[in-house]
Structure 1
Amino acid sequence: MLIWPEHTSRRGRFRTQPEDVDALVRIHLAEACRRWGIGRDQAVDVAVYAHGGLTDEDAAAVSARQWVPMLYDQRIFPVFLMWETGALRTISNMIEDHLAPLDQRAAGRLQQLRERWKEWWNQRVESIARPLGRPLWREMKENAAKIGNNPASGARMLLDVLRGKAREYGLPRVRLHLVGHSAGSIVHAHLGVAAIRAGFDLRSVSLIAPAVRVDEFDRTLGQAVLRTGTRMLVAHLTDAAERADPTCRPYGHSLLYLVSRAFEDHRETPLLGLERDLVPARATLPWGAQMLAVASPQTAIARLPSAQGVDTRCSRPTEATTHGSLDDDPAVHHLVVQLIRKS
């Protein structure tokens, strides 16, 4: 299902109309419950997945083809929120255009003194990216918040149908789960609050490399889950992996570092998905006790003290080393499914 900020989508290759939202519940969820043998006096797990906000439609479709069947095979009904901007490529192109002359002049010296000059180069990229990327990032965040806050958005329509018509359609009680990658965490910081206010049983929230600010999460979903006991997961890269992530070229660190240092209002803005910011947040903020955290690469879930109650018998070490690959990691998939099942 393709969701746009203020309404259901009427453009792009993947389109959703209001009647499609109703059919998703009335027909497809009902059929899933029939196949899985879940009666109306039981409960069904519904997981709403939100991908990153700088992802174009094609990349989002690839993610959907991975997550939707994986969740469905685990008897978890998947709803994929597809909201495209494709802004990352635009920002990268603009930065490269500005840096090209400097890169040519400094290439020889940078090769000789690579490590010494690396941070200088990244700071230069950040200074160029700031005026180019900050307006796009701000707009993307506003769109993400509208998905959760605007009653006319497709996601809110889905909540309305689930809440208002599920019993009429003979469906079981819904256990709601939210899964988000990167800026999808901003969507869920607001959608989760709306779901709790609407009376949903929000059982789990899984955030993968979340780009949401720590203070924004704290004043929205972080406060809301204190009343519900919702279990949470944050899957993130180690700080070393963030700093070595090569996928945001010409920048030398990860997308989250660029967001924190250039796109947000202040340099070094704390983000929930950065290990350097997550560790103190979990230790000092009230909702930290409800949050399981797993780092990548090379973390075995079974060794995590906070993995109590999660089946770790089939656990494997995390392998992802880049921001974009973390939501593809089989170990992360396993943990998300286990959290949903055990919540």
Structure 2
Amino acid sequence: VLLRQCESAAIAHSAAAARSVAYSYADLRPHVVSLGNDGALRPGGDYGTTAAELREIFEVDMPRAMAGWPEKHVLLYAHGGLVDERSAIQRLADYRSVMLEAHVYPLGFVWHSDYWSTLTNILQDAMRRRRPEGALGAASDFLLDRLDDTLEILACTLTGKASWDELKENALAAGSTPQGGARMALDLLATLATQMDIKLHVVSHSAGAIFQAPLVRLLTAPRKTIASGYLKGETGYGLQVETCTLWAPAVTTELFKQAYLPALTAGGIGRFALFALSDKAEQDDNCARIYNKSLLYLVSRAFEDSAFGEGTPLLGMEKWLARDPELSQLFTSGKADLVFSPNSNPEGSPTASRSTRHNDFDDDGATLKATLARITGAPAPAATEFQFHHSSSSLRARREAIDRSARDVAT
């Protein structure tokens, strides 16, 4: 893991400018909540989190870091479902220095999804089965003409839906169950909010929007038992989320309406923004150079409940937003911003994004600066630069390697 090292020692919470690139467990540990099966805290390893370490983050590290800040911004970040642990940690390291300098404390939920490897294996297996044998024999000509349609059927059959369902269950359990690690973090965050005047922000990428759904619902619900709807019977925290920014969210429009929309309607979310690929960019994207559209198309058409055909409506897809009157009204009401990418809006403005693929958003400088501008309420300074490090285990490096092997499978 490469880290932009600040001047101060130990936890290095100073807002001083970065001076060098180095590895430091002590610097990153206060920004990581590590989660495992069923969304529970995951101890052990380089960046595991125990209950005691989680308490230390909220009771010691965060107050110490934000003590001298005139405005104390806390960012809850959830990475996408394709990301492995090392890549998730590296991304937090890439965000950390710039965020701290802007008086934003990033706290990342590392939920050990790494769905990319599973997805690639499923698609490669589907490609191998394209040969005219067994039940696929009659479909071989059709497969050549409509490869994506056939891959959707195969991917769903070859454990694709089951794997996606398991990913979602772990993501939701982290916040919706009392023993979930994210739920434990919310308890500590609520206590911290009684001791310091903090401004709370939520950012997620792809399946991270599924992970954050119960968190947003609980954070913004009034401090009493939720009487109806999503998470009925649970107790809300009554906190304000100043900004909520979703990058290419893989959450269904149904879950969005259950978990996020009540807060938008009631004012529990101050400013909301959805960043999404244009439908053209979505269709120009690919998964492992086998499926010839974006991940969201594959999830919508193969892995969700209304698989095949038009698929299940996902919030991050332009085609579904245009067809939903309730969402169309939301994004024209002034309560929420809709940003399609790629665009040429000035870098540093809150609507800039240069992302051309589903996986681009979390390391696209324009998107990060736009998100930071939304959090701080001011355009990102011209000198603001996020430095992204792509190790051999990063999603981008792994995707390129998988693309090469996938081409071999397809020939």
TM range (shorter): 0.7 to 0.9
Shift of 1:67: 2.5
Unaligned runs of 5+ in 2: 1-31, 134-140, 221-235, 379-411
* TM-score in terms of structure 2 length: 0.71
CA contact under 8 A between 2:321 and 2:327: conserved in structure 1?
no
2:121 equivalent in structure 1: 93
Map 1:92-241 → 2, pairs under 5 A: 92-100=120-128, 102=130, 120-131=146-157, 132-165=159-192, 167=194, 171-196=195-220, 197-230=236-269, 231-241=271-281
Query: How far apart, CA to CA, are the structure 1 residues paired with 2:371 and 2:238?
Result: 23
Deviation per CA, 1:262-307, whole angstroms, max 9, x where unpaired?
A: 00011321100011112344764664432111111124169xxxxx
How large is the RMSD of aligned CA atoms in angstroms? Answer: 2.6
Deviation per CA, 1:84-142, whole angstroms, max 9, x where unpaired?
A: 1223212311321332263799xxxxxxx9xx987601111111101221001111111
Deviation per CA, 1:12-47, whole angstroms, max 9, x where unpaired?
A: 4420111111111222211222343x4xxxx52111
Query: How far apart, CA to CA, are the structure 1 residues paired with 2:374 and 2:131?
Result: 46
Answer yes or no: is 1:263 the counterpart of 2:303: yes
Query: Sequence identity of aligned pairs in percent?
Result: 30
CA contact under 8 A between 1:55 and 1:86: conserved in structure 2?
yes
* TM-score in terms of structure 1 length: 0.84
Query: How far apart, CA to CA, are the structure 2 residues paired with 1:222 and 1:178?
Result: 14
Query: How far apart, CA to CA, are the structure 2 residues paired with 1:279 and 1:69?
Result: 38
Cα pair distance change 1:219/1:287, threshold 3 Å: farther
Answer yes or no: is 1:276 the counterpart of 2:319: yes
2:63 equivalent in structure 1: 30
Q: Which amino acid aligns with 2:146?
A: W
CA contact under 8 A between 1:248 and 1:254: conserved in structure 2?
no
Cα pair distance change 1:118/1:234, threshold 3 Å: farther
Answer yes or no: is 1:52 the counterpart of 2:80: yes
Cα pair distance change 1:8/1:180, threshold 3 Å: same
CA contact under 8 A between 1:180 and 1:207: conserved in structure 2?
yes
Answer yes or no: is 1:243 the counterpart of 2:254: no
Partner-residue secondary structure (3-state), 2:316: coil
Deviation per CA, 1:227-281, whole angstroms, max 9, x where unpaired?
A: 1252111111111111111343311111000000000011321100011112344
Cα pair distance change 1:317/1:49, threshold 3 Å: closer
Partner-residue secondary structure (3-state), 1:198: coil
2:292 equivalent in structure 1: 252
Partner-residue secondary structure (3-state), 2:156: helix
2:111 equivalent in structure 1: 83
Cα pair distance change 1:16/1:93, threshold 3 Å: same
Partner-residue secondary structure (3-state), 1:235: strand
Question: What count of residue pairs does the alignment treat as equivalent?
Answer: 316
Cα pair distance change 1:164/1:101, threshold 3 Å: closer
Query: How far apart, CA to CA, are the structure 2 residues paired with 1:322 and 1:93?
Result: 20
Q: Which has the higher helix share?
A: 1
